[in-house]
Structure 1
Amino acid sequence: MEMWIPEKAAEIIRVLMNHGFEAYAVGGCVRDSILGRKPEDWDITTSARPEEVKRIFPRTVDTGIEHGTVTVLMDREQFEVTTYRVDGEYTDHRHPKEVTFTASLEEDLKRRDFTINAMAYNPETGLVDIFQGIEDLERKIIRCVGDPGERFDEDALRILRAIRFSAQLGFVIDDATKQAMSERAETLKDVSAERIRVELVKLLVSAYPEKIREACRLGITRVVLPEYDAIVGVEQHTPNHIYDVEEHTIRALCNVEPESVLRLTMLLHDFGKPIVKKTDNGRDIFYKHPEVSARMCRDILRRLKFDNHTLDRVYRLVKWHGLKYLPNDISVRKALNRVGQDIFEDFIKVQRADISAKNPKVVDEKLAMLAEKEKIYRKIVERGDCFEVKRLAVNGRDLIQSGIPQGPILGAILERLVELVIEDPELNEKERLLEKASQIKDDPSIFDEKQYFFEP
């Protein structure tokens, strides 16, 4: 079998071979090339020791030299070159206590996770496929190299990686591999939150995010995302729904584009439903579930060490995903004020995905109404309507100069002025707003909590 290799990666292999060493492209880049996918990285394995790699190539970085990995710099590109190795005992279900370098490619490939990742390629010798990786690619199967229990005992993260590869490639997991995953799911508690997060996001933005259902059935989410297990089998006897919460979530997840914030939002958007569910005369009620789901979302994303930018956007999208508003200028401006223009495009995508996963009898009408709201939103933005404080014709300094004291009342008055301008855009003139501010400064109701209405 011939396989295309980028020139710089091929040059590293040639140079190592010219110095008397073996060298191969290995792992995911070989798998993806065979599948016709573009590899993200090109990793190289070699019989050369790290110090020999450093001596041969003028520009290197000691990436993980204790484990045999040196990064070779070719112009502006980086390639990880790792010495053939045999891993020692694993004591934490994640890292070997020590590694031993070997001259055997076969020994190096034996330590790898799945057969489809245990193939090596060299332009001169061709493909090395000791564990029938090609056959598993053709059969579309994820299967461990050797004994699956041993592979997962070595590195528990491989349990999540199996689900992730299944989701990315649309492959099924071999029965023995699946059984070992289920038996050892509890060991995922030893894996760092950061590593769990990376695999979860890759699964969610994959071509088959519904594979998270399999992660649940194997006991994996019980360890890494127990909130998911709570939505399984939660019925929704309402006019808007015919699916239980899990099925609705899966369908909504598949209905939105594969972007991490959107997929996270659809995964988490109804996690609060089991907590708030009440039944009245045979009809289920999920009062304030978006707000409860948002609080849960914040806790989950913090636990998994997500960055603040992602946390903020997902939290707000979950909080507002069920906001009820009408297809008219005033109502859409109010929605923009609540949700925020910075996420409003995503908010529309989230609502579209959510609606599409509801009772088919209500979907067409709701989607048509959402399309009308989107048209109005775009006209509002194009006109430059005021729907937030920064668009007012007055600011805090203007109010202070007019005699309104600094403090909470200042912000409350600005918010009330925005509400008035949303209702009547012609009010957005400095003198008229200052007059209104003077009239409402002594009104205690300006501190009343706003009431919002959500889809059930």
Structure 2
Amino acid sequence: MKIELPQKVDYIINELMKNGYEAYAVGGCIRDSILGKEPEDWDITTSAKPQEVKKLFRRTIDTGIVHGTVTVMLEKEGYEVTTYRIDGEYEDNRRPKTVEFTADLIEDLKRRDFTINAMAYNKLKGLVDVFNGLSDLQNGVIRCVGSASERFDEDALRILRAIRFSAQLGFEIEEKTLEAVIAKASNLEAISAERIRVELNKLLLSPHPEKLIDAQKSDITKVVLPEFDTMMNTEQNNPHHIYSVGMHSIKAVKEAGNSAVSFNPKETLVLRWTLLLHDVGKPYCKTTDQKGDHFYGHAEKSAETAKLILRRLKFDNETIDMVFRLIKWHDYKFSLTPQDMRKAVNKIGMDIFDLLFEVKAADTLAQNPNTWKEKMDHLDQAKVIYQEIKANQECVNLKMLKINGKDLIYIGFKPGKEMGEILNRLLEQVLDNPNLNEKQILLRMALQYKPDGIENSEE
């Protein structure tokens, strides 16, 4: 098998080999290359010790030199070069107490997590695949290298990574590996929230976010996202729904991104988390009567609960704020007039309005199909009105108002709370009638609100 190595990767490998060392591209880059995907980065493994690597290349960074990793800089690009190593005893389900360098590639490959990530390649030797990773790639299997229990005891995050790779690649987890996942799931309690967050993000952004259900069945979410277990166990017996809260939410995540609107990576992540958690508060709001189940106030409860979850997972404040607001307004019923739509944009925020349409569409399409048409027709009409508002650049917030505080001061107003109130009163008028958003018109209107005794500098 031939793999096309990038020129700089090939150069580093050749330099090491010319000086009497072994060197290979290794791990995920080989997996992705075989699958026909563009690797995100290229890792190199070598028999050379870190100090020996440093002597061969002009610019290097001691990325993790204690564990054998040196970053070789070629122009502005960095490539991690790691010495073959044998990990010592693991004591915290995360990292080895000691690392021993070795001259044996196979010993290095033995310590890796899954067979599909334990292949190495260079042009001279070709593919080194002692654990049948190629066969597992071809058969769509996630299998641990050697003993799955030992691999998961070494680094418990591998338990969640098994599910994540399954979601990204659409593979099934091999039976003994899955047994170990279930048996060792509680080990994830030792893993930091930041590392958990990274894996959950990759899972939700994958082509198969429904694999989160496998994580729930394997007791993983009991540790990393216990609210999802509660969602999966909360039925919705009413005309709008045919799935449990959890299953509905997963189906909504899968629906996300199917529209013609494109979102940047940050927005896409916000969208996926919003849809996963948009009904997380329902189990706490559920009531039942002769008409079925009801979830009054669930949007507000879900928004607050989602905020707590995202904080626990150490998300940044911007992501938390966007998800919170989208969930808070996900059940908002649009009134189909330009005036009311402008007020809705002002209330909800223009920065998330396109995302809100996506959330509402995905939410609807994950409900009872018998209820889709009316809801989607209503949503489509709302979109048309909103697009006209955007196309006409109609004012929907104070930033778009044609006057500001400086203008009010110029005509005699004093800085303070009252001035802000006047600007908001003017905005209310403009939301009703966008034609009023002209500077001279607004200034004349403002003078009508001016308290007695304030001089007009223009008089």
Relative to the length of structure 1, the TM-score reads: 0.92
Aligned-partner SS, 1:300: helix
Counterpart residue number, 1:153: 153
Q: State whether structure 2 residue 158 is matched by structure 1 residue 171.
A: no
Is the contact made by 1:399 and 1:437 (CA closer than 8 Å) also made in structure 2?
no
* Counterpart mapping for 1:32-47 below 5 A: 32-47=32-47
Q: From the superposition, tell whether residues 437 and 233 of structure 1 become closer, same or farther in structure 2 (CA, over 3 Å).
A: farther
Is the contact made by 1:106 and 1:130 (CA closer than 8 Å) also made in structure 2?
yes
Structure 1 counterpart of 2:356, one-letter code: F
Structure 1: runs of 5+ lacking an equivalent:
440-456
Q: Structure 2 residue aligned with 1:331, among 337, 340, 365?
A: 340
Is the contact made by 2:59 and 2:73 (CA closer than 8 Å) also made in structure 1?
yes
Q: State whether structure 2 residue 416 is matched by structure 1 residue 406.
A: yes
Aligned-partner SS, 1:78: strand
* Counterpart mapping for 1:33-432 below 5 A: 33-257=33-257, 259-396=268-405, 406-407=416-417, 411-412=420-421, 414-428=423-437, 429-431=441-443
Q: Give the C-alpha shift of residue 75 in structure 1.
A: 1.7
Distance, in Å, in 2 between the alignment partners of 1:384 and 1:433 is 21
Structure 2 counterpart of 1:154, one-letter code: E
Aligned-partner SS, 2:81: strand
Aligned-partner SS, 1:94: coil
Aligned-partner SS, 1:184: helix
Q: Give the C-alpha shift of residue 15 in structure 1.
A: 0.9
Distance, in Å, in 2 between the alignment partners of 1:416 and 1:304 is 40
Distance, in Å, in 2 between the alignment partners of 1:218 and 1:319 is 31
Query: Bigger CA drift: 32-41 or 234-243?
Result: 234-243
Query: Bigger CA drift: 323-332 or 158-167?
Result: 323-332
Relative to the length of structure 2, the TM-score reads: 0.91
Distance, in Å, in 1 between the alignment partners of 2:74 and 2:406 is 57
Q: Give the C-alpha shift of residue 331 in structure 1.
A: 2.1
Is the contact made by 2:299 and 2:327 (CA closer than 8 Å) also made in structure 1?
yes
Percent identical residues: 55
Once the two structures are superposed, residues 101-152 of structure 1 have per-residue CA deviations (whole angstroms, 9 ceiling, x without a partner) of 0111111000000000001111111111111111111110000001100000
Structure 2 counterpart of 1:339, one-letter code: I
Structure 2: runs of 5+ lacking an equivalent:
258-264, 452-459
Aligned residues: 438
Q: From the superposition, tell whether residues 414 and 280 of structure 1 become closer, same or farther in structure 2 (CA, over 3 Å).
A: farther
Aligned-partner SS, 2:25: strand
Q: Give the C-alpha shift of residue 410 in structure 1.
A: 5.0
Query: Bigger CA drift: 90-99 or 344-353?
Result: 344-353
Is the contact made by 1:54 and 1:70 (CA closer than 8 Å) also made in structure 2?
yes
Is the contact made by 1:269 and 1:293 (CA closer than 8 Å) also made in structure 2?
yes
Is the contact made by 2:115 and 2:143 (CA closer than 8 Å) also made in structure 1?
yes
Q: From the superposition, tell whether residues 384 and 345 of structure 1 become closer, same or farther in structure 2 (CA, over 3 Å).
A: same
Once the two structures are superposed, residues 51-90 of structure 1 have per-residue CA deviations (whole angstroms, 9 ceiling, x without a partner) of 1000111111100000000011112221111000000011
Structure 2 counterpart of 1:76, one-letter code: K
Q: C-alpha root-mean-square deviation of aligned residues, in Å?
A: 1.9
Query: Bigger CA drift: 330-339 or 6-15?
Result: 330-339
Is the contact made by 1:317 and 1:347 (CA closer than 8 Å) also made in structure 2?
yes
Structure 1 counterpart of 2:41, one-letter code: D
Distance, in Å, in 1 between the alignment partners of 2:111 and 2:402 is 67
Q: From the superposition, tell whether residues 145 and 59 of structure 1 become closer, same or farther in structure 2 (CA, over 3 Å).
A: same
Q: Give the C-alpha shift of residue 189 in structure 1.
A: 1.3
Distance, in Å, in 1 between the alignment partners of 2:448 and 2:199 is 54
